């Protein structure tokens, strides 16, 4: 994937309007088709065939049969297939977990196409379990795999394990170790899934490994590494215990110390919370949002930092199904992104350009702050997401102040002669500040990516600076907590562009977020929001 497209991919603004139809790549489809072939031929005679569909009236009837196994746990079957789609099909965990209304039938359709059978229908409890199991199994993957390898007694057995069998084991391990489900039920139902979806021998293997895990847990003798030895050995042990890539752990220990690194990993492994922004542009105040949440019996609390934001930890499905997002009354937006908009400080009459705008969370918030006076030009290289932004702008009733441009901002800045009061560059980044919400992101990043990203960030900063009018403001922001992408990029930029200087974020955001250098920085552990960075840079007259 080209780095020019990284911003749209890495952004974790609300994905609720996105289609999931193109999640599977050609190569990943081959993997899933291979799995389908392997499981279809192993279907058992105990399954019940039912007539699903009849076509034609008064003519020859065509029958399509579906194979149903009512004894297989639906949440485990769906979880196994979701995990396959994420690891081998390129799907994103946050999109899959938040599809909302209509997802039950879609998920069972994927189960049927992948495993060759259907289970009973998913109920609300099943859907919640799917979200918990999938998110948890991804977050704790390194930890779970370490234990699976240990209980296999042979690493080659683990390395050659069928993808579906491995997902079933991960589910069983997570349910026993982290969800504290009744061990007998977990063993019995995951064994049944393995036997039905694969073959009896696979079920026997799952049975033996899970039973050994139960004994080890009960005896408090799990084979886990000890944090000892040199720095590298300690980092490897911590990476296993808290399930993160070793390179991330070593980097965090270097920058913030071992204790804060552990706290950060614990935050990343916790259940994510979300914030809703009331759409005041549509005359829907935060007090109106609170009333609707109370009516829906969704637990919530007011943001201590931003007037339009409300925090929720559970009940997102209720919000989606009640139509609050679909009606444009609110949007899902983390407070960290709202603070970036506060650093920009949009005022009625301002001309603003958002250089990497899609999917548009910050664009929409800035537009609402203009109160129908001024303009926000949204530029992005991803044309499809720009179309979604345009549709959402109409829904939020801010399309009168938003225009979109499909372009690479590096090329756009060379050809464009218009200068703006305020320029926002929310740059493509590693996303290391949003790992609690993007469970799969930690496994999709490499240390090598950091250098490529820093080069791209420098190029985008140089281009964006050309769009700032004399006396105007350039805001550089990321959803990363890494100094290499944040403070170091600003320092390098100021060396190249002496016409800019730091304009302190003090006065635009609460003082708790302002660093000694005048930047806005949010900490997941300290502030209970996503990690982010924003620098406000003033161009001389």
The reply to whether 479 belongs to the active site is yes
Rounded average pLDDT over 369-394 = 96
Distance linking the first and last C-alpha atoms of the chain: 40
Is 154 in a helix, a strand, or coil? coil
CA atoms of 316 and 106, how far apart (whole Å): 19
Task: Assess contact for 144 and 173: CB atoms under 8 A.
Answer: yes
Residue 439: per-residue pLDDT: 86
What the block records as the tokens of 257 is 């110390």
pLDDT in tens, 257-284: 999 999 999 999 998 889 999 999 999 9
Residue 1: per-residue pLDDT: 36
Residue 302: per-residue pLDDT: 97
Between 40-54, 213-227, 414-428, 442-456, the lowest mean confidence (pLDDT) is in 40-54
Residue 151: per-residue pLDDT: 96
CA atoms of 532 and 10, how far apart (whole Å): 13
Q: Choose between 102 and 141: higher pLDDT.
A: 141
Between 48-52, 147-151, 234-238, 248-252, the lowest mean confidence (pLDDT) is in 48-52
Q: Which residues contact 496 (CB under 8 A, 6 or more apart)?
A: 462
Residue 423: per-residue pLDDT: 98
DSSP state of 129: H
Q: Does the pLDDT at position 4 exceed 50?
A: no
What the block records as the tokens of 487 is 């403070």
Q: Does the pLDDT at position 47 exceed 50?
A: no
pLDDT in tens, 403-422: 999 999 999 999 999 999 99
Q: Is 74 annotated as a binding residue?
A: no
Is 537 in a helix, a strand, or coil? strand
> Which pLDDT band holds residue 155 (cuts at 50, 70, 90)?
confident
Q: Does the pLDDT at position 10 exceed 90?
A: no
Residue 153: per-residue pLDDT: 81
Residue 307: per-residue pLDDT: 95
Q: Does the pLDDT at position 93 exceed 80?
A: no
> Which pLDDT band holds residue 17 (cuts at 50, 70, 90)?
very low
> Which pLDDT band holds residue 39 (cuts at 50, 70, 90)?
very low
Q: Does the pLDDT at position 65 exceed 60?
A: no
Q: Does the pLDDT at position 79 exceed 80?
A: yes
Q: Is 56 annotated as a binding residue?
A: no
Q: Is 380 annotated as a binding residue?
A: yes
CA atoms of 369 and 355, how far apart (whole Å): 18
Task: Assess contact for 514 and 504: CB atoms under 8 A.
Answer: yes
Q: Is 491 annotated as a binding residue?
A: no
> Which pLDDT band holds residue 106 (cuts at 50, 70, 90)?
confident
Instruction: Report the mean per-residue pLDDT for the chain.
Output: 87
Between 123-127, 172-176, 281-285, the lowest mean confidence (pLDDT) is in 123-127
Q: What is the pTM of this model?
A: 0.86
pLDDT-above-70 percentage for the chain: 85
Residue 71: per-residue pLDDT: 86
Task: Assess contact for 68 and 119: CB atoms under 8 A.
Answer: yes
Is 102 in a helix, a strand, or coil? coil
Q: Is 426 annotated as a binding residue?
A: yes
Q: Is 362 annotated as a binding residue?
A: yes
Residue 19: per-residue pLDDT: 24
Residue 108: per-residue pLDDT: 83
Rounded average pLDDT over 368-390 = 96
Q: Is 530 annotated as a binding residue?
A: no
> Which pLDDT band holds residue 124 (cuts at 50, 70, 90)?
confident
> Which pLDDT band holds residue 103 (cuts at 50, 70, 90)?
low
Rounded average pLDDT over 327-334 = 96
Q: Does the pLDDT at position 313 exceed 50?
A: yes
Nearest to 108 by CA among 147, 69, 158, 160: 69
Nearest to 50 by CA among 62, 63, 61, 66: 66
Q: Is 358 annotated as a binding residue?
A: yes
pLDDT-above-90 percentage for the chain: 76
Residue 70: per-residue pLDDT: 78
Q: Is 308 annotated as a binding residue?
A: no
Is 416 in a helix, a strand, or coil? coil
Strand 48-55 and strand 62-68: pairing?
antiparallel
What the block records as the tokens of 71 is 């004894």
> Which pLDDT band holds residue 94 (cuts at 50, 70, 90)?
low
Question: 10 vs 100, 139, 163, 206, 510, CA distance in Å?
Answer: 22, 17, 26, 36, 27
Residue 388: per-residue pLDDT: 95
pLDDT in tens, 492-514: 999 999 999 999 999 999 999 99
Q: Is 278 annotated as a binding residue?
A: no
Residue 127: per-residue pLDDT: 87
Candidate list 330, 355, 479, 520, residue with the active-site label: 479
Residue 239: per-residue pLDDT: 98
> Which pLDDT band holds residue 309 (cuts at 50, 70, 90)?
very high
Question: At which residue do the structure tokens 């007259």 appear?
Answer: 541
């Amino acid at each position: 994937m080209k780095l020019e497209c990284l911003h749209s991919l890495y952004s974790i603004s609300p994905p609720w309007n996105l289609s999931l139809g193109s999640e599977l790549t050609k190569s990943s489809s081959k993997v899933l088709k291979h799995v389908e072939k392997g499981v279809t031929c192993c279907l058992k005679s105990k399954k019940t065939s039912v007539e699903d569909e009849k076509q034609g009236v008064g003519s020859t009837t065509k029958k399509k049969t579906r194979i149903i196994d009512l004894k297989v746990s639906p949440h485990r079957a769906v979880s196994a297939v979701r995990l396959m789609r994420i690891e081998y099909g390129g799907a994103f965990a946050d999109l899959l977990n938040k599809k909302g209304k209509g997802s039950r039938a879609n998920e069972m359709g994927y189960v049927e196409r992948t495993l060759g059978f259907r289970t009973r229908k998913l109920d609300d409890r099943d859907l919640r379990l799917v979200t918990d199991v999938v998110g948890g199994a991804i977050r704790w993957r390194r930890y779970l795999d370490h234990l699976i390898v240990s209980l296999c007694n042979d690493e080659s057995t683990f390395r050659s394990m069928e993808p579906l069998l491995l997902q079933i084991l991960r589910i069983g391990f997570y349910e026993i170790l982290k969800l504290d489900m009744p061990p007998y039920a977990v063993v019995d139902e995951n064994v049944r899934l393995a036997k039905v979806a694969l073959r009896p021998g696979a079920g026997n293997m799952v049975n033996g490994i899970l039973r050994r895990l139960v004994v080890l847990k009960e005896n408090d003798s799990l084979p886990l590494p000890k944090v000892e030895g040199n720095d590298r050995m300690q980092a490897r042990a911590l990476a296993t215990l808290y399930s993160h890539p070793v390179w991330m752990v070593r980097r965090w220990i270097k920058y913030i110390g071992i204790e804060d690194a552990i706290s950060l990993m614990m935050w990343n492994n916790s259940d994510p919370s979300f914030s809703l922004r009331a759409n005041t542009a549509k005359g829907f105040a935060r007090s109106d949002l609170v009333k609707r949440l109370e009516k829906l019996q969704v637990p919530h609390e007011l943001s201590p930092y931003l007037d339009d934001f409300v925090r929720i930890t559970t009940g997102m499905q209720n919000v989606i199904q009640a139509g609050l997002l679909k009606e444009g009354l609110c949007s899902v937006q983390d407070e960290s992104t709202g603070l970036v908009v506060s650093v920009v400080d949009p005022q009625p009459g301002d001309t603003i350009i958002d250089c990497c705008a899609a999917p548009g969370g910050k664009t929409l918030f800035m537009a609402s702050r203009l109160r129908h006076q001024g303009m926000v030009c949204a530029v992005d290289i991803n044309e499809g997401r720009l179309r979604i932004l345009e549709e959402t702008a109409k829904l939020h009733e801010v399309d009168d102040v938003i225009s979109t441009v499909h372009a690479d901002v590096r090329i756009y800045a060379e050809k464009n002669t218009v200068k703006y009061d305020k320029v926002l560059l929310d740059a493509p980044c590693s996303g290391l500040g949003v790992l609690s919400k993007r469970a799969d992101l930690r496994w999709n990043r490499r240390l090598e990516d950091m250098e490529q990203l820093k080069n791209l960030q420098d190029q985008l900063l140089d281009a964006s600076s050309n769009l700032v009018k004399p006396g105007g403001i350039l805001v550089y922001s990321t959803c990363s907590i890494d100094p290499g992408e944040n403070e170091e990029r600003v320092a390098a930029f100021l060396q190249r562009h002496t016409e800019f200087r730091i304009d302190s974020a003090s006065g635009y955001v609460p003082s708790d977020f302002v660093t000694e250098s005048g930047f806005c920085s949010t900490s997941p552990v300290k502030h209970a929001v996503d990690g982010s960075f924003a620098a406000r840079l003033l161009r001389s007259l």
